[in-house]
Amino acid sequence: MSIANSLPHADQEDDLQSEPSGRTPGTPVKWYRPKLSREQMSALNRKSDLLGFAQTLGYLLTITATGTLAVWGVWHLPWYLTLLAFFLHGTCCNFLINGFHELVHESIFKTRWLNGFFLRIFSFLGWYNHTEFWASHTEHHKFTLHPPDDLEVVLPQHMKWQNLLKGGFIDYMGVWHIINGTVRVAMGRVEGQWMNHLFPPDKPALRRARANWARLLLVGHGLIIATSIVTGYWPIAIAASFCRLYGGIIQFYCNAAQHIGLQDNVSDFRLCCRTIYLNPLLRFLYWHMNYHTEHHMYAGVPCYRLGQLNALIRHEMPECPRGLIATWIQIYSILKRQKSDPTYQFVPALPQAVHPLGGPLPTM
């Protein structure tokens, strides 16, 4: 899902011009989806302002509370407890990308303008560009892991564990990457194969919207940083403008599990997406994206109903790991095999039984 972490390197792009599956690039993918009744789909697709506020305001109140604690702790707590408070705040704030992602889908609130309103709040807090992400993520859902139509996520994905351990606690290069990247977009630069595909020269309005949001980010966060320094409340800048740069390790392990080690160029989301079962707290912070296969199958289903969707189609799902530890034990074994065999991709066993349709939505 994260564009910044999943775009191919420049030396990979020349290898992404054709598909082993034989599908002509640009043509629709005939995706397999479990069959659901019209009544079930209608209930699953129903958006709720009440549930939308519970998820969105609940999350915003959570990061407000952790940020307040961290800033307060600078003057009132021992240094080690203050560091712990900031780490907790960063841990929660790194899930901003998941709320931002759901709001891009416009699937949280029944009242449409509320999706747009909160999308801009999340975009600002996380230094995200919703214009850029919407363009990329639309293609990711239509052509999931079918290069060159989807370059948001490209397999195989490689991990350098030493970089994860450094960046997962304090991303000391993050300030440079965020500001430099935002400045380049604000200058109107469109760089790389994927961005030029999404924002071609014949779409100046899209390019302008992308650049204008980057300029707003620079001005807005510049004011926050300058004001916090001038007033002597410098921790506010760390808690508000740079909250993504520390404590990101748990969010990384959640997000990176979505596709890594699985198959590309297949037309079955069960083979290219991974659903995992998490505890209620992590599900809430992660905006229920642990049900990632279900999200790709039916992208219009609000995140707070994905658990119900999973219960309805569980008989057609492969075995899903329970918890992050079990998930990454499985992924580590896949990555280890890919080192010796770069062509290897994990193929989960799919159940054969298909249950009849009908019945109410399961309660969660």
Residues comprising the chain, all counted: 364
Q: What is the DSSP letter of 26?
A: T
Average pLDDT, the chain: 89
127 dihedral zone (left: phi>0; alpha: psi -120 to 50; beta): left
- Helical (H) or strand (E) element with 241: none
CA distances from 95 to 56, 63, 130, 185, 304 (A): 12, 10, 16, 23, 16
- Per residue in 77-133, pLDDT (tens digit) is 999 999 999 999 999 999 999 999 999 999 999 999 999 999 999 999 999 999 999
pTM: 0.88
Secondary structure of residue 230 in the 3-state scheme: helix
What is the amino acid identity at position 52?
G
Question: What is the C-alpha to C-alpha distance for residues 8 and 16, in angstroms, rounded to an integer?
Answer: 10
| Residue 128 and residue 100 in contact, taking contact as beta carbons nearer than 8 Å | yes
Q: Does residue 200 carry a pLDDT above 90? A: yes
- 118 token code pair: 């909160």
Residue 344's pLDDT band (boundaries 50, 70, 90)? Answer: very high
Question: Are the C-beta atoms of residues 122 and 103 closer than 8 Å to each other?
Answer: yes
DSSP state letter for 283: H
The b/e string for 26-48 (b: 16+ C-beta within 10 A; e otherwise) is: eeebeeeebebeeebbebbeebe
Beta bridge partners of 246: 170
pLDDT tens digits, one per residue of 264-311: 999 999 999 999 999 999 999 999 999 999 999 999 999 999 999 999
| HSE value, Cβ hemisphere, 13 Å, CA-based, for 84 | 5
Report which of 134, 171, 346 is spatially closest to residue 259, judged by C-alpha positions.
346
What DSSP line would sit under 28-82, residue for residue?
PP--B-----HHHHHHHT---HHHHHHHHHHHHHHHHHHHHHHHHHHHHS-HHHH
Tally Cβ neighbours within 10 Å of residue 191. 11
How far apart CA 223 and CA 256 sit, in angstroms, is: 33
